[in-house]
């Protein structure tokens, strides 16, 4: 098995630009995931994000998580748990309208830092989408435009912690799924692992790498690329030791965006017919909410069915 792809983005401004673009292309086609270093977000700033996130969990989230565990009898579980995950989460919305000021229990410093972090990630997401467009032969800006509904794209962050679990063989940190949206940028714990992706029938570890960002392809990019780049099943294993931090930011189409394969990727090659449906992103999300932990194929197929009148 080849090594998990790690992309040094500094090489995009060097004589290794072409080989680096090929690495990104290969990662998108064959992994659905890659890790980026030298991505332009300062290590010191990321250390601050991590410090404040872990402090917030300890102060405001840990007791709620313990209450959830107790209420569901998870510590005494004797059989595999299929309907719950061993995680503590909260969600931030950045676009089209931020809700950071409305989230309870965040101190002023943490709100300020997360708002700044989101702005940096938004810029990086749009840059990465342009790199994907270039590799696909699409004009730069195509995906950003495809994501723009009447109010622009949607962009939000899931902040999660995965505390030590006494019975990791019976419960997942997070059950296997593909991501519904566009492109995902993950700032994960630099020491505690657990994230895995499914490749060629094997679960592969996504290695913790300090100050890196893990990038993965969501369902919407699979549709827009007509399957050239596919979303990939991934999961988080619960661990007996360590408290794993995960800050996953999702750059997605706007709610009323119409999502469909790029025409250039449907008609450009012989036999490359359009095998993906056309739908409004909000409609897809309504379906996804009930089928997140099922395969993506039934979700796509549901939008190919004729509408009953």
Query: Mapped to the 3 state alphabet, what secondary structure does 204-253 carry?
Result: EECCCCCCCEEEEECHHHHHHCCCCCCCCCEEEECCCCCCEEEEEEEEEC
- Helix (DSSP H) and strand (DSSP E) numbers for the chain: 9, 13
Q: How far apart are CA 122 and CA 40, in angstroms?
A: 12
Q: How far apart are CA 244 and CA 85, in angstroms?
A: 14
CA neighbor of 299 nearest in space, from 187, 180, 185, 142: 180
279 in Cβ contact with 253 (< 8 Å)? no
Q: How far apart are CA 150 and CA 257, in angstroms?
A: 7
Q: How far apart are CA 278 and CA 271, in angstroms?
A: 19
CA neighbor of 197 nearest in space, from 232, 229, 171: 232
Two tokens, residue 232: 């990939």
Q: How far apart are CA 35 and CA 226, in angstroms?
A: 23
pLDDT of residue 2: 66
Confidence of residue 269 (pLDDT cuts 50, 70, 90): low
- 120 Cβ contact list (under 8 Å, min separation 6): 40, 41, 45
HSE, CB side, 13 Å, CA atoms: give it for residue 8.
Answer: 8
pLDDT of residue 309: 37
Statement: residue 227 has pLDDT above 80: yes
Q: Chain centroid to CA 217: how far?
A: 7
pLDDT of residue 49: 98
Q: How far apart are CA 161 and CA 178, in angstroms?
A: 19
Q: How far apart are CA 208 and CA 214, in angstroms?
A: 9
pLDDT in tens, 277-298: 999 999 999 999 888 988 898 8
pLDDT in tens, 74-110: 888 888 998 899 999 999 999 999 999 999 899 999 9
Q: How far apart are CA 287 and CA 59, in angstroms?
A: 35
Q: At 127, which helix (H) or strand (E)?
A: helix 108-136
pLDDT of residue 306: 59
Statement: residue 1 has pLDDT above 70: no
- 19 Cβ contact list (under 8 Å, min separation 6): 11
pLDDT in tens, 13-22: 999 999 999 9
* For residues 106-131, average pLDDT: 97
Go through 258-272 and write b for each residue having 16 or more CB atoms within 10 A of its CB, e for each that does not.
ebbbbeebeeeeeee
Kindly report the backbone phi and psi dihedral angles of residue 289, in degrees, each rounded to the nearest multiple of 5, phi listed first: -55, -35
Confidence of residue 308 (pLDDT cuts 50, 70, 90): very low
Q: At 184, which helix (H) or strand (E)?
A: strand 183-188
């Amino acid at each position: 098995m080849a090594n998990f792809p790690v992309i040094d983005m500094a090489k995009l401004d060097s004589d290794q630009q072409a080989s680096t673009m090929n690495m990104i292309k290969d990662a998108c086609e064959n992994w659905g995931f890659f890790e980026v270093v030298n991505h332009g977000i300062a290590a010191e700033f990321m250390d601050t994000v991590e410090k404040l996130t872990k402090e917030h969990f300890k102060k405001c989230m840990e007791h709620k998580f313990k209450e959830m565990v107790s209420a569901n009898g998870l510590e005494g579980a004797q059989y595999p748990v299929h309907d719950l995950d061993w995680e503590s989460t909260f969600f931030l919305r950045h676009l089209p309208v931020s809700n950071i000021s409305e989230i309870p229990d965040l101190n002023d410093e943490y709100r300020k830092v997360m708002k700044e972090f989101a702005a940096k990630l938004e810029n990086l997401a749009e840059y990465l989408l342009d790199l994907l467009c270039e590799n696909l032969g699409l004009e730069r800006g195509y995906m950003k435009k495809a994501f723009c509904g009447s109010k622009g794209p949607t962009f939000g962050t899931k902040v999660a912690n995965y505390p030590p679990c006494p019975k990791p063989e019976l419960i997942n940190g997070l059950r296997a799924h593909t991501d519904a949206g566009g492109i995902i940028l993950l700032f994960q714990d630099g020491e505690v692992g657990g994230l895995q992706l499914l490749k060629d029938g094997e679960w592969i570890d996504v290695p913790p790498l300090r100050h890196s960002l893990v990038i993965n392809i969501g369902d919407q990019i699979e549709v827009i690329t007509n399957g050239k780049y596919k979303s990939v099943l991934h999961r988080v294993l619960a661990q007996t030791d360590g408290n794993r931090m995960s800050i996953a930011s999702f750059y997605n189409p706007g709610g009323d965006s119409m999502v469909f394969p790029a025409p250039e990727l449907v008609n450009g090659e012989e036999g490359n017919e359009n095998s993906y449906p056309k739908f409004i992103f909000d409609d897809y999300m309504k379906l996804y909410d009930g089928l997140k932990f099922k395969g993506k194929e039934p979700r796509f197929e549901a939008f190919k069915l004729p509408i009953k009148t």
